[in-house]
Amino acid sequence: MKLSVSNLNSHYGPAHILFDIGLEVGEGEVVALLGRNGAGKSTTFRSIVGLVALREGQILFEGKDISTAPTHEIVRSGLGYVPEERRIFTDLTVEENLEVGRQKPRPGAPQWTREKLYKLFPNLGEMKNRPGGRMSGGEQQMLTIARTLMGNPSLVLLDEPSEGLSPKIVEQMVDAILTMKKEGVSLVVSEQNLHFAKLISDRAYIIERGRICFAGTMAELDARPDIRDAHLSI
């Protein structure tokens, strides 16, 4: 197992957000985490990378327990995180944004360089010196993924990559995710868009009100329209 989460509970202040979350990601697998707005997708990701202070449970990454490690150590061990809000450094240029994400190459994980990433996202290569604040939403989404890949992760948590993007950019995003998979990066992709998820993922989890309520392959999910209608808005 690449990543194995069990009995994860998280709190924001006095509010209990996640209840006994369990999920697993195999080597080279793309797993979708589906759910409506506010279901707990982002909190799950934030808990895994240690950005939620109040978390309990076991999180194993490549067999190592990371449930109490600080964020930077988790990320340095090869677990990349792309936040939903993109969080581009708006004052920094594209090149500088990539530089912040750069980490040493890691054995057993695919290696990324600026040149390779500019090939994956050609738009970025054309605006190397543009400040992040003067880019379109789609360009920012590409930059935030590229920035995380600069850390040469073996697993990436990708939070709602298709949100707010035009259909054409979404297509590019699908290509990029499939390329990452082909290179050997495992992925967990959170999504509200079932159609998008089907194009990229092997398996899916559905999360509702902080609890996992379905786990299975995409084919199994297709066979259960009742679950789809109950937990996902289409």
| Sites of contact with another protein (CB under 8 A) | 11, 13-14, 49, 51, 53-54, 70-72, 75-76, 81, 83, 87, 89-92, 96-97, 99-103, 147-148, 151
Q: For residues 219 and 210, give the distance between their C-alpha atoms in angstroms, rounded to a whole number.
A: 24
Decide whether 147 or 203 has the Cβ nearer to another protein: 147
Work out the number of other CB atoms within 10 angstroms of the CB of residue 149.
Answer: 26
Nearer to another protein, 88 or 232 (CB): 88
When the beta carbons of 146 and 232 are compared against another protein, the nearer one is 146
**Closest separation in Å from C-beta 201 to another protein:** 23
Residue 177: CB minimum distance to another protein, A: 19
Minimum distance from residue 158 beta carbon to another protein (Å): 13
> Residue 177 and residue 199: Cα distance in Å, rounded?
10
Min separation Cβ 130 and another protein, Å: 15
18, 48 contact by CB (below 8 A): no
Give the residue with the Cβ less far from another protein, 83 or 125.
Answer: 83
The greatest distance separating any two alpha carbons of the chain, rounded to the nearest whole angstrom, comes to 49
Question: Among residues 1 and 53, whose Cβ is nearest to another protein?
Answer: 53
89 or 118, CB closer to another protein?
89
Minimal distance, residue 221 CB to another protein, in Å: 30
DSSP 73-137: HHHHTTEEEE-TT----TTSBHHHHHHHH-----TTS----HHHHHHHSHHHHTTTTSBGGGS-H
Instruction: Compute the least distance from the CB of residue 48 to another protein, in Å.
Output: 11
Separation of alpha carbons 174 and 170, rounded Å: 6
Classify residue 114 as exposed, middle or buried by CB count within 10 Å of its CB (0-12, 13-18, 19+).
middle
